[in-house]
Amino acid sequence: MHLDIYPNRSILYAHGEKQVFLEGPQDASTQKNVAKIKTALDGGFLERLIANVHTYDFSSLDRETRFLIDSIVAKVTSEVGRALVGQARRRKVAHRNRDQTVQLR
């Protein structure tokens, strides 16, 4: 998968196909929101979020809740998004099982 980003469009190359997403002008409100998101991401928002995954013990969830979370994860269409979620889950398991080798599927 590959993504080319241009000022007026983005082109996603995936699975032998090419998708073009045209970018229109942003109004002042959108520009403000984009700047806020960029500042948060540049300030380590995702890193802190992933680093704090270990603060919740997912094993204590009931079977239905775990099923619902797994269903949400399975519906993430972006391979990058899916990778982030997977890394967060692996980090949690690795944190709990430092002396064990664990593989999630």
Residues 1 and 29 in one domain: yes
Check whether residue 7 and residue 53 sit in a common domain.
no
Percent of the chain with pLDDT over 90: 6
CA separation for the pair 57, 48 (Å, rounded): 17
pLDDT of residue 98: 46
Co-location of 67 and 91 in the same domain: yes
The sheet that has 2-5: what strands, in order across it? 2-5, 9-14, 17-22
Kindly give the interhelix angle for 63-75 and 79-96, rounded to the nearest 10 degrees: 140
Q: Are residues 34 and 53 in the same domain?
A: no
Residues 32 and 54 both lie in one domain: no
Q: Are residues 37 and 59 in the same domain?
A: no
Per-residue pLDDT band for 18 (boundaries 50, 70, 90) equals very high
| pLDDT tens profile 44-87 | 888 888 887 766 677 788 888 888 888 777 766 566 565 666 66
Q: Is 22 helix (H, G, I), strand (E, B) or coil?
A: strand
Same domain, residue pair 21 and 72: no
| 62, 101 Cβ separation under 8 angstroms | no
Assess whether 14 and 52 both reside in one domain: no
**Domains: count for the chain:** 2
